[in-house]
Structure 1
Amino acid sequence: MSIAPRPMSLRFDGAAATAQRHLGQLRPSFQRSVERLSSGLRINSARDDAAGLFLSQRLQAQTRGAQQAVRNVQDGISYLQVADGGLTTQAEMLGRMRELAVQAANGIYSATERQAMQGELDKLVEEIDSVALSTKFNGRQVLQDLGTLTNEQLVVEGLRRSWLESSEEMIEKHFGLTADGAPLTIILDAPGPVGVAAYVQGAAGADGRSYNQELHVNMSAFTNFSMPNASAAPFHLDRVIAHEMTHAVMGRTMNMAALPQWFVEGTAELIRGADERVLADTLGQNAAATAGLVAGPWDSAWGGTSPDYSMGYAATKYLHGKLEVAEKTMIDLMDQLEGGATLDAALTATIGMTEAAFVADFKANGTAFIQGMNLADADVGSIAGGNARTVVQDQDVVTLDPLRGFTEIWPSGTPATAVALQAGANNSSFDRVDFAGLKMDAATIGATELDLVEDAGGAIDRIDRSLKSVLSARAYIGAIMNRLEFATRSLSVSAENSKAADSRIRDADTAAEMTELLRSQMRTQSAMNALSSTQTQRSSVLSLLQFA
């Protein structure tokens, strides 16, 4: 294809215009290459690659978030290390306290010498409190920190700390019963039934067992209380939970629908202890009042009144004594019921009496039995032993799954946590590590009321439980620290990969850009040479005008 020749013109130089146009087109390419080489980035503005810039900015935000999450996790590990240091000190002091208790239990020491041991122990108890108060991270007390909880969260905190687990342990130890992993839905009623602090309900199956059980907690009863026992002595609400958990476990292990109500409620009261109830209902063990209650009709027409509960408890306690005489235990009786026996058959197999014969025996001897009970002392009469505060053992570690025999279904908004660690770059439950606060003063872990002079053996038991609480707390902290260390590794890898991906998208290829720059320089030089040559044509036109 031939190009038509252009006339020689004074007003328009086509060749120069073409050269200038190509030179102008080469300038942006040259400037872009210079910009990329000087910045090291392929994408310096949205016009370079709009989609790539969007993705790059997202990756940069993700990288920075992951890097901050790593710093967050490291702060969390530091917080836990401070807590672990305080707990280590407390464990060492409890070890010394146990050493003193064992020494005081030796019969060769006089009361004066035991009192000297008591003096050292009391100072160690004070120091346990001091450590709990003085162990701080960034001004925050890490061993006196339950966080700010709503009343509902505080109840769930109690359930997760000790109320459920300790109740289950009592039932297993003294009744030999453990549920089968069935669901247990915890429901916080606000308000609940008047006069009922808590209750368990479920649907009776064809086998008499209870299905789809629910533990209802009446929030009207659980108000203005303190951990770990809740409410005021002797009506600590953790004892109420122990009563209801007995129903829940028996409901999953036997035909509870076939059992008489006095036995169902009596066994639950035997777990929690009900001496104070019997003392009140019998008007201080008054003979006439007691005889009137023993006569019934608690056994045949259960009305759910406090005297009914008192008689169910007293009859079950009387049965416990009968079992001991027969060299049997409540576990032997429960084994019969768990195996499918009726109460009548179970009683016959263990104490040699039918249910009717046992009830008649209690009605004949119950008044004397109740009057012979020591109802005025601190012991509440539980089969597990202990006073109102200690019968349900306190623990200071929140367990997300405290029951071995049930699968708990918790209400929404729980659990409450004292520390919510942002351990990820996003806003999801997988990016947070929540851990409960720890309250590790002497009263909470049960390291008080230790008497080396009169009850050194009891002091050993209480110190062992306190030591268990501290060591469990250390184990809990250690588990979280291990998780956080792995989280740090994962976040570091995530940040590294995000930076690599961003680099592949946004960084300039130096070799390619250098090649492009040289190409642009060569083309620019060529265009400038062409533009310079157009000056020759202009000179020719001017020469013609000179000869005119």
Structure 2
Amino acid sequence: PQAITLRHKEFGSEHTFHAASNTAGLVSSVSNINELIANGTDVSGEINGEQASGRGQILTGDPGADTVEGIKIRYTGETAPAGGNAGTVTFSQNSLTFQIGAEANQFSEYSLGSIKTNDLGRGEENSSNFDSLAQIKVLNSEQAQDAIRVIDKAIQEVNGSRGEMGAFQKNNLESNLNYLRIAHENSVSSESVIRDADMAEEMATFTRNQIMMEASTSMLAQANQNSMTVLKLIG
């Protein structure tokens, strides 16, 4: 059997359309009579654990929210995800800034994701309706199994954050530290060449000057001796 799929080009509860066919039961239950197609569904959810309102595919932080007011997230899926949960989004704010070079604007930024229990393990589908690690309870076997799932996801999220921090430290901080250390050593070596005397050259110059001074003294002494000899002969 073949199926006909009609889809509106827009998303959300504000958009709808009518459809009819000249054959009863094909598109409309009665031939040539328009039927209203059910409205779409607006995306719903929270941003950073704070209330947000959905309109079509856009989720917007509600007015008065502490940190997410006005922030918009767009869900790009064309159908509702299985279980009604599409996942989580992490926003990076108030990032840490590290100066990694000697010049202006040579810096790198890193943002730490929240590891609060209210923010860990979110979005894990479970029959006990645990929304996060902070809500887990172990009062029966079903809750115990669901708690394990939420805890496992929280561990994965923490490990992911640790991996990101390690990669940032190795690829950004340590690599630049090694570069700066080598640059410093080269600068110190260059300064040493400029400031320090070449001892061999200086000793050669000193010896030459000393020989010339002694030769001059000897020649002067001989000249004085010759003058005294002439005076004795005259006398």
* TM-score for both structures, normalised by structure 2: 0.51
User: Cα RMSD between the aligned structures?
Assistant: 4.4
1:514 to 183, 192, 203: 203
The 1:537/1:475 distance shift into structure 2, 3 A limit, reads same
Name structure 2 gaps, 5 residues minimum. 1-45, 121-131
Give the C-alpha shift of residue 480 in structure 1. Answer: 1.9
Q: Which is higher, the Rg of structure 1 or of structure 2? A: 2
Distance verdict in 2 for CA 1:451–1:224, change over 3 Å:
same
Partner Cα distance (2:204, 2:174) in 1: 46
AA in 1 matched with 2:163: A
Matched, 1:529 2:218: yes
- Once residues 63 and 190 of structure 2 are traced to their aligned partners in structure 1, the CA distance between those partners, rounded to angstroms, is 54
Structure 2 residue matching 1:421: 3-state secondary structure: strand
More strand by share: 2
CA contact (8 A) 1:423 1:433 kept: yes
Q: Give the structure 2 partner of residue 427 of structure 1.
A: 103
What are the Cα deviations for residues 139-160 of structure 1, in whole angstroms up to 9, with x where unaligned?
xxxxxxxxxxxxxxxxxxxxxx
Q: Deviations over 1:242-266 (max 9, x none)?
A: 3xx23xx47xxxxxxxxxxxxxxxx
Structure 1 residues 530, 198: closer, same or farther in 2, change over 3 A? farther
Q: Paired residue for 1:474?
A: 162
Whether the 8 Å contact between 1:394 and 1:444 is mirrored in structure 2 is no
Q: Which has the higher helix share?
A: 1
From 381, 393, 404, the counterpart of 2:88: 393
Alignment-derived partner of residue 128 in structure 2: none
Alignment of 1:44-443 (within 5 A): 225-226=66-67, 230=68, 241-242=72-73, 245-246=74-75, 249=76, 330=79, 385=84, 393=88, 395=90, 398=92, 416-418=94-96, 420-424=97-101, 426-430=102-106, 432-437=107-112, 439-443=114-118
DSSP-derived class of the 1:427 partner: coil
Shift of 1:530: 3.4
The alignment-based identity, stated in percent, is 18
Secondary structure at the residue paired with 1:487?
helix
Map Cα deviations across residues 113-139 of structure 1 (whole Å, 9 max, x no partner).
Answer: xxxxxxxxxxxxxxxxxxxxxxxxxxx
Matched pairs, number: 167
One-letter identity of the residue aligned with 2:66: F
Tell me if the contact between 1:416 and 1:436 (Cα under 8 Å) persists in the aligned partners.
yes
SS of alignment partner, residue 135 of structure 2: coil
Under a length normalisation based on structure 1, what TM-score does the superposition of the two structures give? 0.25
Bigger relative contact order (CA 8 A; separation at least 6): 1
SS in 1 for 2:133: coil
Q: Is the 8 A contact 1:163 1:392 kept in 2?
A: no
1:465 partner SS: helix
Name the CA distance, whole Å, in 2 between partners of 1:433 and 1:198.
Answer: 35
The alpha-carbon distance between structure 1 residues 383 and 222, as it changes in their structure 2 partners (threshold 3 A), is farther
The unaligned stretches of length 5 or more in structure 1 are 1-161, 165-196, 200-214, 232-236, 251-266, 268-329, 332-381, 399-414
